[in-house]
Structure 1
Amino acid sequence: MTALIADDPTAAALLADVPCYPVPLQGGSPALDALRAARVGHGLAVGKDGVLLILRRPWLALDIPVAPPIAAHLPYGSVGGPKADLRCGFIPSEHLGSILDVLRAALPNEAAAFVLWNEATREFAVEFPVIDEATPSRLVYRIPVLQPDWHMVCDIHSHGTGSAFFSATDDADDAHATKISLVFGRLDQPDGPTRASRLCAGGMFLPLPRSPFAGDHHAA
C-alpha cells in the first residue's frame, strides 16, 4: 500500500500537478514515461546524477537539470541528459523577415510581435499586438488572447536603435511563462540587428542552443 504524500487536499493537488519520481536503477518507469509523453505537464526526476525537470507543452519538450548529484547514496538510476525539442518544428524563415520589417518600420520607437502555433493545423502565424504606448525606450502593449488550439511560441520586442538585452521589467513579465523570448536591437544598423534570446520555462531563463527560425543560424 502506498502512503499518501500529503493529507491536505490542496497540498496533495499541487504535488500531483508537479510530481517527483525516483528513477529506478533497473528497468523502466511507467510514471516517468507517461510524464515524458504527456501533451502538457511538468515534474521532477530524481536520480544518482541529480534532479531533472521534465516539462511538456504542445509545442515544446524540455528536459533540463535543476540540481547536481545528491551527496548521499541513493539506489537510483540516471536521470538522462538535457534536451530541448520544438515539437512544433522550426518557425518558417519568412516570418522572421516580416517581423523585422515591422520592427524597423516603427523606428525610432520600440515595437513587438508574437509567433503563434496552431496545434490542430500545425501552422504558424505572426500577431502584432495593440500598442498602448511606444517610445524609443518604453513599450506598453497587449498580450494576445489565444483562440482554441493556438499557443504562444515566441514573445518578441525591439529596443529600437538601442542594445538588445532583457530588462528587469522583462524578467518580471517572463518569470511565470513558458515561451521563447527575443529582443532585437540596433535595428538601424546596415549590418543587421543584434539580439538577445532565451527560453522561459519552469521559472528559469535558459539559453537557446540556436535560433527557433528555420534557416537562421544566429548563435542564440
Structure 2
Amino acid sequence: MTMLADDQTAAAVLAAVPCYPVPPVGRSPTIDALRDARAGHGLAIGNDGVMLILRRPWLELDVPVAPPISCYLPYGSIGGRRADLRCGLIPGDHLDHILDHFRAALPNEEAAFVLWNEVTREFAVHLPVIDEATPSRLVYRTPGLEPDWHVVCDIHSHGTGPAFFSATDNTDDADATKISLVIGQFADPNGPAMAARLCAGGMFLPLPRNPFSGDLRCSLIPATATIFPLSSPIA
C-alpha cells in the first residue's frame, strides 16, 4: 500500500482523518465503514463537493464543507446532509430541572451539562463546579466522565440578558463536538429563550429545533444560517 506520508506522526494524523473519493457507481466500503463507525471522522470528495462525515456514539453527522471542485473529477455524488441523534431527543423533564436551577441562581449566570450513557441509553443532568459566577461572567468546569458517558449538551445561562454566543463561547466551543446552548431572557413574560448550535469539526452549525422532547418552556431562537434536518431515530 502506498504511504501518504514518510513521517510516522504525520501518517497517523492523516489516518485519523481520512479522505476518500466517492465512486461514480456502486458503493464505497471505506466510506460505508466510516459512516457505520462508533466514532471517527473523515472527508468524502465527490463531483458535487466535499462532505465531512463525523460519528460519535450519540451523533451521526454528514455535512458539506466545500463547494464542487472546479476541475473535472470522475467521482460520484457526496449525497445529502444529515444530522441524526443516535441518543434520541433529551427528555423535556431534564430541561425543566435545568431552567429551575438557572432561575434559582439569578441574577448570576449558571451552567449545566446533559450527559448520555451509550450502554444504558439513559440521560443525566450534571451540575458542574462553578469557579466564578456574576450577572455577566461565568467560569465552570467540564465534567470528568465515567466510562460509557458522553457530553451531549453544554448549557449556560445569561440571566435576564439575551441568549447569544459570545467570543468567549466561540473559543471554548471551537474544538468540541457537542450541542451548545445559551439560555437567557428569564424576565421576559413569554418565558426564557434559548440559542442553540451544534459544534462539530471546528464548525458551528445551527439547529432547526429544540433538542429536548415534550411541551417545552423555552423557545428556540431562529437560526440565521442555513439549517439542516436534525432528527431522532426510533429505537
Distance of 2:154 and 2:180 partners within structure 1: 5
Listed as ranges, the matches of 1:78-93 within 5 Å are 78-93=77-92
Equivalence for 2:40? 41
Q: What are the superposed Cα offsets for residues 134-154 of structure 1, whole Å, 9 maximum, x if unpaired?
A: 100011111111110000000
Equivalence for 1:187? 186
Whether 1:131 and 2:127 are equivalent positions in the alignment is no
Aligned residue pairs total 219
Equivalence for 1:214? 213
Distance of 1:74 and 1:154 partners within structure 2: 39
Listed as ranges, the matches of 1:94-105 within 5 Å are 94-105=93-104
Distance of 1:31 and 1:209 partners within structure 2: 31
Q: What are the superposed Cα offsets for residues 54-96 of structure 1, whole Å, 9 maximum, x if unpaired?
A: 0000000000000000111100000001000000000001001
| Helix, strand or coil at the partner of 1:199 | strand
Distance of 2:196 and 2:35 partners within structure 1: 25
CA contact (8 A) 1:109 1:136 kept: yes
Structure 2: which amino acid aligns with 1:96?
Answer: L
| Helix, strand or coil at the partner of 1:66 | strand
| Helix, strand or coil at the partner of 2:10 | helix
Structure 1: which amino acid aligns with 2:49?
Answer: G
Q: TM-score, normalised by structure 2?
A: 0.91
Distance of 1:162 and 1:68 partners within structure 2: 38
Unaligned runs of 5+ in 1: none
Q: TM-score, normalised by structure 1?
A: 0.97
Structure possessing the higher relative contact order (Cα contacts under 8 Å, 6 or more residues apart): 2
Deviation at 1:8, TM superposition (A): 1.0
| Helix, strand or coil at the partner of 2:35 | helix
Whether 1:76 and 2:75 are equivalent positions in the alignment is yes
Distance of 1:210 and 1:21 partners within structure 2: 32
Deviation at 1:209, TM superposition (A): 2.1
Structure 2: which amino acid aligns with 1:165?
Answer: F
Instruction: Tell me how large the CA RMSD over aligned residues is.
Output: 1.1
Equivalence for 1:169? 168
Q: What are the superposed Cα offsets for residues 168-211 of structure 1, whole Å, 9 maximum, x if unpaired?
A: 11001000000000001111222111221100000000001211
Distance of 1:195 and 1:88 partners within structure 2: 21
Q: What are the superposed Cα offsets for residues 8-54 of structure 1, whole Å, 9 maximum, x if unpaired?
A: 11111000000000000011100000000000000000000000000
| Helix, strand or coil at the partner of 1:64 | strand
Structure 1: which amino acid aligns with 2:21?
Answer: P
Equivalence for 1:27? 26
Unaligned runs of 5+ in 2: 224-235
Q: What are the superposed Cα offsets for residues 92-114 of structure 1, whole Å, 9 maximum, x if unpaired?
A: 01001010000111110000000
Distance of 2:27 and 2:174 partners within structure 1: 34
Structure 2: which amino acid aligns with 1:54?
Answer: I
Equivalence for 2:12? 13
Equivalence for 1:142? 141
Identity of aligned residues (%): 73
Distance of 2:183 and 2:25 partners within structure 1: 48
